Amino acid sequence: MLASHTRTLKLEICCQVGVTLNYIHSVSKELLQEELKKLEILPTDLDGPDLIQALNGLYPHDIGHYLGMDVHDTPLLSHNVVLQPGMVITVEPGVYIRRDFPIQNHIKAKEFLGAAVRIEDDVLITSDGPQVLNKGTPQTVEEISAIIN
């Protein structure tokens, strides 16, 4: 599942001047769909309304939010605002394979039921491209386990 963080890096490529959080979110759902099918968590032939229902159940939140004077700055600001240099956003895809979600009939790999992961990067939008502000923080299973143990 933490392979989704590798996908997060691809999402950060989308964090450019001129795009919106809604655009980044749509790309994140496409990447998540690919990854979940590759891991055989979702059936490869799942599509249409069933795929949308499954993805919305597994990933029930937006890709991120604006950061500013508060952690969740400007919560009422539309996710259709065009990103400009100097803006800071979070990129935090998450997957929650809850046992009580109605989508569990679409989950092919039952051993993943009950699993969840969410990884956040804070990204500064610049005219030269995105700058990840929290590079170097532990994010792999091995790095996090080393801290816990």
pLDDT band at 41 (very low <50, low <70, confident <90, very high): confident
The pLDDT of residue 18 is 94
Q: 91 exposed, middle or buried (CB, 10 Å; 0-12, 13-18, 19+)?
A: buried
Residues 83, 125: contact at Cβ < 8 Å? yes
The pLDDT of residue 116 is 87
Give the lowest-confidence range in 3-12, 96-105, 122-131. Answer: 3-12
The total number of structural domains in the chain stands at 1
Long-range contacts of the stretch 5-14 (C-beta < 8 A, 24+): 5/119, 5/139, 5/140, 7/31, 7/32, 7/35, 7/93, 8/91, 8/93, 8/119, 8/121, 11/63, 11/91, 11/93, 12/91, 12/121, 12/123, 12/130, 12/132, 13/130
CA distances from 63 to 100, 101, 149 (A): 23, 20, 30
The pLDDT of residue 78 is 85
Give the pLDDT confidence of 53-110 residue by residue, as tens digits: 888 888 998 888 888 766 665 667 788 899 999 999 999 888 898 887 666 666 777 7
Domain coverage including residue 134 = 3-148
Give the pLDDT confidence of 100-116 residue by residue, as tens digits: 766 666 677 777 888 88
Task: Compute the distance between CA of residue 139 and CA of residue 12 in angstroms, rounded to an integer.
Answer: 15
Give the pLDDT confidence of 21-35 residue by residue, as tens digits: 999 999 889 888 988
Looking up residue 98, the CATH number of its domain turns out to be 3.90.230.10
Is residue 2 pLDDT above 50, yes or no? no
Six token digits for residue 110: 């039952």
The pLDDT of residue 113 is 81
**Residue whose token pair is 């065009």:** 82
In the chain, how many H helices and how many E strands?
A: 4, 6
The pLDDT of residue 147 is 86
Phi and psi, residue 124, nearest 5°: -90, 130
- pTM for the whole structure: 0.81
Is residue 143 pLDDT above 90, yes or no? no
